[in-house]
A and B are shown apart, each in its own frame.
Chain A
Amino acid sequence: MSPLILRGLCKSYGGNLVVDGLDLELEPGRCHGLLGPNGAGKTTTLRLALGLIGTDAGSVDLLGYPMPAEAALARRKVGVVPQIDSLDPDFTVRENLQTYGRYFGMKGHEIEARIPYLLEFSGLAGKADAPINNLSGGMKRRLTLARALVNDPDLIFLDEPTTGLDPQARHLIWQGLRRLIGQGKTLLLTTHFMDEAERLCDVISVLDQGRVIVRGSPRELISEHIEPHVVEIYGEGLNEWKACASSYCRRCEQAGETLFCYTEAPDRVVAELAAMPGLRYLHRPANLEDVFLKLTGRDLRD
Chain B
Amino acid sequence: MIDLNWYPVWRRNFLVWKKLAIPSLLGNLADPMLYMLGLGYGLGGLLQAVDGVPYLNFLAAGTLAYSVMNSATFETLYSAFSRMHVQKTWEAILNTPLTLKDVLLGELFWATSKSLLSAVAIMLVIWALGLYDNFAMTLALLPVAVLTGFCFAGMGLAINAVSPNYDFFLYYFTLAITPMILLGGVFYPPSALPAWLAGIAAWLPLTHAINLARPLVLGHLPTDILLHGLALLAYGLAGFAAALVLTKRRLLK
Give the docked Cα–Cα distance between A153 and B9 (Å). Answer: 21
B-facing mask of A237-272, CB < 8 A → 1, else 0? 000000000000000000000000000000000000
Q: Are B8 and A84 in contact (CB-based, < 8 A)?
A: no
Q: How many pairs, one residue from A and one from B, have CB atoms within 8 Å of each other in the complex?
A: 63
Give the docked Cα–Cα distance between A255 and B93 (Å). Answer: 43
B72-117 interface (Cβ within 8 A of A): 87-89, 91-99
Nearest-neighbour CB distance to chain B for A237, whole angstroms, equals 52
Q: Are B89 and A103 in contact (CB-based, < 8 A)?
A: no
Q: Are B87 and A89 in contact (CB-based, < 8 A)?
A: yes
B18-65 interface (Cβ within 8 A of A): 19
Does A95 belong to the interface (CB within 8 Å)? Answer: yes
Most interface-central of A84, A103, A151 (chain B CB within 10 A): A103
Given A53-B252, A53-B253, residue A86 in contact with residue B89 (CB < 8 A)? yes
Does B12 belong to the interface (CB within 8 Å)? Answer: yes
Given A72-B99, A95-B15, residue A88 in contact with residue B94 (CB < 8 A)? no
Give the docked Cα–Cα distance between A85 and B88 (Å). Answer: 8
Q: Are B96 and A75 in contact (CB-based, < 8 A)?
A: yes
Given A82-B92, A88-B89, A99-B8, residue A75 in contact with residue B16 (CB < 8 A)? no
Q: Are B92 and A91 in contact (CB-based, < 8 A)?
A: no
Does A76 belong to the interface (CB within 8 Å)? Answer: yes
> When the two chains form the complex, which single residue of B11, B16, B253 contacts A91, counting CB atoms closer than 8 Å?
B16
Q: Which residues of B contact A90 (CB under 8 A)?
A: 16, 19
Q: Are B87 and A88 in contact (CB-based, < 8 A)?
A: yes
Give the docked Cα–Cα distance between A53 and B15 (Å). Answer: 30
Q: Which residues of B contact A294 (CB under 8 A)?
A: none
Given A91-B16, A99-B8, A102-B11, residue A86 in contact with residue B98 (CB < 8 A)? no
Does A117 belong to the interface (CB within 8 Å)? Answer: no
Give the docked Cα–Cα distance between A76 and B5 (Å). Answer: 13
Q: Are A103 and B93 in contact (CB-based, < 8 A)?
A: yes
A-facing mask of B182-219, CB < 8 A → 1, else 0? 00000000000000000000000000000000000000
Given A52-B252, A82-B91, residue A103 in contact with residue B15 (CB < 8 A)? no
> When the two chains form the complex, which single residue of B11, B95, B97, B98 contacts A73, counting CB atoms closer than 8 Å?
B97
Q: Which residues of A contact B89 (CB under 8 A)?
A: 86, 88
Nearest-neighbour CB distance to chain B for A220, whole angstroms, equals 32
A81-139 interface (Cβ within 8 A of B): 82, 84-91, 95, 99-100, 102-105
Q: Which residues of A contact B92 (CB under 8 A)?
A: 82, 86-88, 100
Q: Are A86 and B91 in contact (CB-based, < 8 A)?
A: yes
A residues within 8 Å of B by Cβ?
Answer: 13, 50, 52-53, 71-73, 75-76, 78, 80, 82, 84-91, 95, 99-100, 102-105, 151
| Additional 5 contacts, C-beta under 8 A, given A78-B95, A100-B92, A103-B8 | A84-B88, A88-B87, A102-B8, A102-B12, A151-B96
Closest 9 CB pairs of A and B: A86-B88, A86-B92, A103-B96, A80-B95, A102-B8, A90-B16, A72-B97, A75-B97, A99-B12
